Structure 1
């Protein structure tokens, strides 16, 4: 599932390419993805983009916005003369823009969704208002410590709980926990103050790297320009099962990454250094 860095990358690219475009037509081919409200977008000129956790928001000058959640396999792809991206068999919604440009919503699993809201009421959307604070916004170290102190669940599960902290998914949770040398199974409220700080800083580091490399395209994700991100070339522990941990002491001990499932998600750990 696209996480904060992936959706942030899409948001930034769309902000650059969509600004000033007028929506001339919206074609919905799978009704459950975009069930209602498309007529409110016709004639609207795109003002900008926002992001709330993993939700992308596109604001129009007519007072309406459309919200997009990519879920597991969704893609939002811009097409014009410079970026001649084409629709495919998984293209379920097409936004026809002025100047011959288009915006495609692709989704092989059809779990993603598009919803309409008045721009001033986006933060009151039933999904968005349940989101917890997110890194780079409301998630200060103090707030982070408070979130962890309130739960005895495994720390990785808490990091991925969007009602606790929004934007962090499986890839970046795995990598942040390895970077901070913390066992994903540790109860969140069991972490000591220095470990809390180390994990907080690790989360910011891996998310910044994810944005720098325009996300991870290990599966379905592509940028709004139709290109692959490259964070998958920089994974720390995610997907590294069977490989030697790169920490010198671990490598010397022959410690390899192991995979197990926690909260139903693939979880990677170096049993030698993640305590």
Structure 2
């Protein structure tokens, strides 16, 4: 599932290409993807694009907002006369729109396509004043790079029960980190993902906090990781998948000690680690 770097990359792209543009029409091809009335946003101008954890909010000038979570395979792809020259990834399809295009936002200059192969993502059209009442947003924990300071992180880890890796992925405790960056951050901090959070020292927690910031920054620099169907708004793949430390590298040699990377199930998720480097 796209995580903070991927969703932030999408946000930056939408911010660049659609802010200031007016929504002329909305074509909904798959009704279950969209809730709210598309008529409420026709004629409205985009004024901002924000991100909350792994969710997006597109604010309009008429008191409405478009909220979205792309889940596993959602894509926002922007096309106009200038961006049409950019070649789209096969992850989008040979052409766009295609059979996986479920919503089309027609702007005064350009089009935004929402594609979703697995159809787990969603788009909601709501009054901006009601954003604070949406459970997806008001239940999110503090976020790295925003309000999750080291002191808050330390307190959260110190009070937690159970293994450390599922805790890092609990969006109610801290938002934005998923399976990819949790695996790689734990490797960078040399912490076994199975260790109890209560057994991790303050010094190790500091290393882990810095490691999370490090891998998230790397993910942002690389434009995200194009696992599954992730692409940026130009339909292009990111590059972090070429820099995975342990994630997705089962049986491949550790980048530090050459020990084969192991894969186990932890909290229902595939978990990768080096048995020699991580203790």
Matching residue of 1:122:
131
Secondary structure, in 3 states, of the residue corresponding to 1:115? strand
Matching residue of 2:250:
241
Is it true that 1:161 corresponds to 2:170 in the alignment? yes
Determine which of 237, 248, 273 is the counterpart of 1:269. 273
Give the conservation status (yes or no) of the 8 Å contact 2:58–2:65: yes
Matching residue of 1:77:
77
Distance 2:238 2:138 in 1: 29
Distance 2:239 2:132 in 1: 31
Consecutive unaligned residues of structure 1, counting only runs of 5 or more, are none
TM-align CA RMSD: 1.1
Secondary structure, in 3 states, of the residue corresponding to 2:135? coil
Give the conservation status (yes or no) of the 8 Å contact 1:152–1:190: no
TM-score (norm 2): 0.94
Give the conservation status (yes or no) of the 8 Å contact 2:189–2:204: yes
Matching residue of 1:63:
63
Matching residue of 2:113:
104
Is it true that 1:94 corresponds to 2:104 in the alignment? yes
Is it true that 1:197 corresponds to 2:210 in the alignment? no
> How far did residue 227 of structure 1 move?
0.5
Matching residue of 2:30:
30
Secondary structure, in 3 states, of the residue corresponding to 1:127? helix
114-123 or 259-268, larger mean C-alpha shift: 114-123
Matching residue of 1:45:
45
> How far did residue 150 of structure 1 move?
2.2
Matching residue of 1:149:
158
Secondary structure, in 3 states, of the residue corresponding to 1:116? strand
Determine which of 263, 267, 277 is the counterpart of 1:259. 263
Runs of 4+ in 1 over 3 A off after TM superposition: none
Alignment deviations for residues 33-75 of structure 1 (CA, whole Å, 9 cap, x no partner): 1032211111100011000000011111111110010011111
Count of matched residue positions in the alignment of Structure 1 and Structure 2: 269
Distance 1:187 1:27 in 2: 49
Secondary structure, in 3 states, of the residue corresponding to 1:238? coil
Matching residue of 1:132:
141
Distance 2:97 2:198 in 1: 47
Distance 2:160 2:175 in 1: 16
Consecutive unaligned residues of structure 2, counting only runs of 5 or more, are 89-95
Alignment deviations for residues 3-45 of structure 1 (CA, whole Å, 9 cap, x no partner): 0000000001110100111001111111111032211111100
Matching residue of 1:209:
218
Distance 1:146 1:117 in 2: 35
Distance 1:35 1:58 in 2: 15
Matching residue of 1:179:
188
